Amino acid sequence: MNNTIHLGGRVTKTLETAAITAPYTLVKPGTTDSQVAPAGASDTPIGVALDEGAVGDSIAIQYLGAGDSSTLLVASATITGNPWVVPAADGKAAALSATPGTYEVIGRVIKAAAADELLEIAPCPHQRTVS
């Protein structure tokens, strides 16, 4: 059943437009409340896919900032230290840039990672940062 709330901010949604080929991919809202799609660098993600799946499949997602634990994400490049993180291409996460601009901050790194590896973050509801 889609859109069923689970303990700790976990929800089941249907993949709308593209497959998710690896867990811990950022997702954005779909056309309806029961759908999600992989998030890109310019999107505002709502959560993290905990499953992989094809278009039309139901997957579990963890809402950003709604759980009671840290969250894993795939790093788009090597991330060191504990910077704030933002969405990157292909549903991955990147360190917040020092370049002035508008960014969707989604959490802070707890455990760093190399490119395409899992990093651990303390998630927050997305926060738009403009500098």
Q: Tell me, what's the pLDDT at 35?
A: 96
Q: Is 29 exposed, middle or buried (0-12, 13-18, 19+ CB in 10 A)?
A: middle
3-24, pLDDT tens digit by residue? 555 667 888 999 999 999 999 9
Read off the pLDDT band of 124 (50, 70, 90). Answer: confident
pTM above 0.75, yes or no: yes
